[in-house]
Every structure is written in structure tokens, then in C-alpha cells.
Amino acid sequence: MTSSTATDAEKSNEHPVKKIVIRRLPPTLTREQFLDIVSPLPDYDYFYFCNADPTLGQNAFSRAYFCFKNNQDVLNFRDRFDNYVFLDSKSNEYPALVEYAPYQRRFKLDPKNPPKKDSK
Amino acid sequence: PPDNKQVEKKAPCPLHEYVKKILYKELNKLCVERVLRQMRKLDWHDQHVKSMAIQCLTSASNVRYNSIHCLANLVSGLALYYEDIGIQIVDAVIEDIRLGLEINLAKFNQRRVSMVKYLAELYNYRMVESSIIFKTLYTLITFGVSYDLNELIANADTCADPLDNYFRIRLVCTLLDTCGQYFDRGSTKKKLDCYLIYFQRYYMFKKEFGQSVDIARPYDRFDIEFVFTDIISSLRPEFKFANTYEQACEQVSKMEGEIRDSIVQ
């Protein structure tokens, strides 16, 4: 029974869930500020925010990765934030890019098989 | 004198200094195990430590070029215990390669070579699949690339891949030199065969038309020619080199035709 509902859920979501990345965010942006700006967010099961790499100087950007549970949300998110202009504290403009992430693997905690605990 | 405040230097964080020391100064193939044990002891649940360590593990250009494979080895060891760290590092490496294409500044050239080599080593240590390598290979010869001479000359200052810039060829060769030997059977072999034909077209276009604008560094061209022929003849000794750009285009359309036929059947 459970297996059949799982396949139904998969069918309604024809393509497997994709990891997307929003790039070229202001380097001074923090995770909390970013979440403030983009909320309300649709349901997601994966998110992480990367601070900019300061060694790139003026070419440093922050970025964030998402997996939305519903594929339609990906399109809506892209329509909202692709080319959306983020501002940093000095009001410099940073048009963001929304793309599918080239590397699709994502980390998911599996409650049945927790990852090996590091004994160190 | 101007009343400028002196910029206060931040006191170095001891942990950060330590990580830098073990990764960038001490890491070599004899002590990977020991460095791995030290890295595992970091407090990976502390967000601040985690992002610092991920950034250090991503900056392959700080490691000696010949030790980059040790860094990849280290990351694959860490990923056994902390899967998400491996994923975040791979994401960061791919992003760095892409950003390098977008900004295309000569001062980052060495960094870009190191990053590409690092990605290839991550493949050798099974952190990424071959599809990522091929995606990167194709990005390197397609991102912002144009085969339209007039357009290239008109937008010489703004385009992402100027006609006289041979650097991407070096990046492709570095990548192939590091992991190309493993694409020797099955579907990855076929994929590489196709790729090399496209790569040759990209190279021949630069070789033929780059000369007209390339005055500043005439030796780059010869240098890159050796790199190009070396790597292809070591990977595919039977490869038929085209003599002109036109021949290279013919090879591409011939291959595309064959593939189209095989799909129709």
C-alpha cells in the first residue's frame, strides 16, 4: 500500500527534484538577511548558504542552494529571483542568477541509516 | 597629515591558522592520514568553523600544485563521515571554475588551473561522477563562446572569451591530463571521442583566427599548440588531426550526422 502511494507521488511530480543555485548575491549578505528577503519560501527540504570567498576581491559573491519539494515552485522561484537585484549595505546592485546546480547530489538525513558517527 | 584611521588588523584566529598550516604547508602524500585525523577533530557542528574549513579545503591554489591530489584524497576521507561537507566543497569548486570563466582576469589564471586540476582529482577519488567532468569540459568550450569573427572583433573588450585568449585550451588540457586516462572504455570513452572533436574545432578556430589579433604574446600560440597535440595524442594515439578550421568543422558535422543516423534507426 505504501509503495503504491509513493509511486503516485512520484508520478504527480514527473521529474525528480532538482537542486538549484542562486548565484551572484552580495558578498556582505548573511544567511539571515537572505532568508528575510526571499521569504515566504515554498516547501523545501534542502537549503544552505555560502558566504563569499574574500580572496576574490571585488568578484566575490555569496550564493545559496535549494531543493524545493515541488517542481512548479522551482519555476516560480526563478521567475521571481532570476535577475532580481539584491542590494548590499552600500546600495551596490547585484543582479542574481538562478540556475540548476551542475552537481545534483544533496545531503539528506536518513533516520533509518544515520551516517557513521565519527569516533575521532 | 590626513586624519585617516589605520585599518585595524584582525587578530588571526588560531584555529584558522592551524588549519592553514596543516593543509597548505604540511600536506603531502605521506601525511594525508595524519592531516585527515586532525581535520576530523574539528568541531563540524559549529557553523563558523565549518564554513572556515570548507573554504580552506576549497582553495586548492594554496596547496602545492603537485599535492592537489592529496587534498582531494583528504576530502574523500572526510566525506565518509560528513557527507554534506564533500558536497559543499564540490559545489564550491564548480562555482569557482564558473566564476573564473565569467570574470576572466589574468591574475586568477594560476588559481583557475589549480581549481580545474582539483576537480579532476576529485573525480579520481570518486567524489564526482564523470557527468560533472563532461559538463565542465563542455562549459569550458561553450560558455560565452562565439564562432562569429565580426562579432568577436566588435565586442573584443566585453566578450567572455576573446579571440586571442588561449587560456581555456590550457584548462581543458589540464583537466584531460589529470583524469582523461580513465575515459578509456564504455560510454565515457565514446563521450570523450565526441568531445575531442568539438574541442579540436574550438582550438582550430583560435589557432587560425587568433593570429590576426594576437600581437602581445606571440609565444602563447606555439606553447598551447604543443600542449594540445601532446594531450590528444597521449589519450587517443589514432586521432586524426585536422589541418584547418574548415576540416575541423567537417569532422564535427560528420560525427553529428552519424549520431543522428544512429538515433533515427
pLDDT computed for residue B263 by the predictor: 92
Average pLDDT score, chain A: 84
Assign A50 to helix, strand or coil.
Answer: strand
- Cross-chain Cβ contact B87/A21 below 8 Å: no
pTM: 0.91
Taking only residues 12 to 41 of chain A, the set having a beta carbon closer than 8 angstroms to any beta carbon of chain B reads: 21, 23
- Cross-chain Cβ contact A55/B59 below 8 Å: yes
CA distance B36 to B120: 20
pLDDT computed for residue B66 by the predictor: 93
Candidates A63, A105, A108: best to mutate against B (most CBs of B within 10 A) is: A105
Overall average pLDDT of the B66-80 stretch = 95
pLDDT computed for residue A7 by the predictor: 46
Instruction: Provide the 8-state DSSP code for A19.
Output: E
The size of the A-B interface in CB pairs under 8 A is: 56
A67 within 8 A of A20, measured Cβ to Cβ: yes
Assign B242 to helix, strand or coil.
Answer: coil
pLDDT computed for residue A14 by the predictor: 55
pLDDT digits (tens, 9 = 90+) for B146-185: 888 888 888 877 888 888 888 999 999 999 999 999 999 9
Chain B partners of A21 at a C-beta cutoff of 8 Å? 91, 95
- Cross-chain Cβ contact B96/A53 below 8 Å: yes
Give the bridge partners for A94, in sequence order: A86
CA distance A53 to chain B (A): 7
pLDDT computed for residue B218 by the predictor: 66
Q: What are phi and psi of B144, to 5 degrees?
A: 70, 15
- Cross-chain Cβ contact A120/B40 below 8 Å: yes
pLDDT computed for residue A2 by the predictor: 43
pLDDT computed for residue B164 by the predictor: 81
- Stretch among A83-87, B31-35, B80-84, B160-164 having the lowest mean pLDDT: B160-164
Chain A partners of B55 at a C-beta cutoff of 8 Å? 51, 53
Overall average pLDDT of the B225-248 stretch = 94
CA distance B59 to chain A (A): 9
Q: Say if residue B103's pLDDT is above 70.
A: yes
List Cα–Cα distances, B216 to A6, B12, B33, B213, B219, in angstroms.
62, 42, 46, 9, 9
- Cross-chain Cβ contact A103/B55 below 8 Å: no
Q: Say if residue A113's pLDDT is above 80.
A: no
CA distance A119 to B40: 9
CA dihedral B175, B181, B182, B188 (to 10 degrees): 80
Percent with pLDDT over 70 in chain A: 83
- Cross-chain Cβ contact A103/B81 below 8 Å: no
Q: Say if residue B34's pLDDT is above 60.
A: yes
Q: How many residues does chain B have?
A: 265
- Cross-chain Cβ contact A115/B82 below 8 Å: yes
CA distance B134 to B188: 9
pLDDT digits (tens, 9 = 90+) for A50-76: 999 989 988 999 999 999 988 889 999
- Cross-chain Cβ contact A116/B136 below 8 Å: no
Confidence class for position A116, pLDDT limits 50, 70, 90? low
Overall average pLDDT of the B48-73 stretch = 95
Q: Say if residue A21's pLDDT is above 90.
A: yes
Burial environment of residue A36 by CB neighbours within 10 A (0 to 12, 13 to 18, 19 or more): exposed
Q: Which residues lie closer than 8 Å to A88 by C-beta, 6 or more apart?
A: A26, A27, A28, A29, A94
pLDDT computed for residue A82 by the predictor: 93
pLDDT computed for residue A10 by the predictor: 46
Candidates A53, A103, A120: best to mutate against B (most CBs of B within 10 A) is: A103
B115 residue type, one letter: M
B122 C-beta neighbours (distance < 10 Å), count: 28
Query: Tell me, what's the ipTM?
Result: 0.86
Chain A partners of B101 at a C-beta cutoff of 8 Å? none
CA dihedral B91, B97, B99, B102 (to 10 degrees): -140
Q: Which residue has the higher pLDDT, A120 or B29?
A: B29
CA distance A81 to A98: 7
Indicate the residue of A53, A101, A116 with minimum beta-carbon distance to B91.
Answer: A101
CA distance B198 to chain A (A): 21
CA distance B230 to B249: 21
Overall average pLDDT of the B53-82 stretch = 94
A103 in contact with B at a CB cutoff of 8 Å?
A: yes
B210 within 8 A of B166, measured Cβ to Cβ: yes
Most confident range (mean pLDDT) of A40-44, B94-98, B156-160 is B94-98
Place of cell 566564476: B99
Cell of B173: 588540457
pLDDT computed for residue B117 by the predictor: 97
pLDDT computed for residue A120 by the predictor: 67
Chain A partners of B95 at a C-beta cutoff of 8 Å? 21, 23, 50, 63
Q: Say if residue A13's pLDDT is above 70.
A: no
pLDDT computed for residue A4 by the predictor: 43
Chain A partners of B92 at a C-beta cutoff of 8 Å? 50, 53
Indicate the residue of B80, B81, B84 with minimum beta-carbon distance to A107.
Answer: B84
- Cross-chain Cβ contact A102/B99 below 8 Å: no
pLDDT computed for residue A11 by the predictor: 47
- Cross-chain Cβ contact A102/B132 below 8 Å: yes
pLDDT digits (tens, 9 = 90+) for B185-230: 999 999 999 999 999 999 999 988 877 665 566 667 788 899 999 9
Place of cell 579532476: B120
Burial environment of residue B92 by CB neighbours within 10 A (0 to 12, 13 to 18, 19 or more): buried
List Cα–Cα distances, B172 to A28, A63, B211, B227, in angstroms.
33, 26, 20, 10
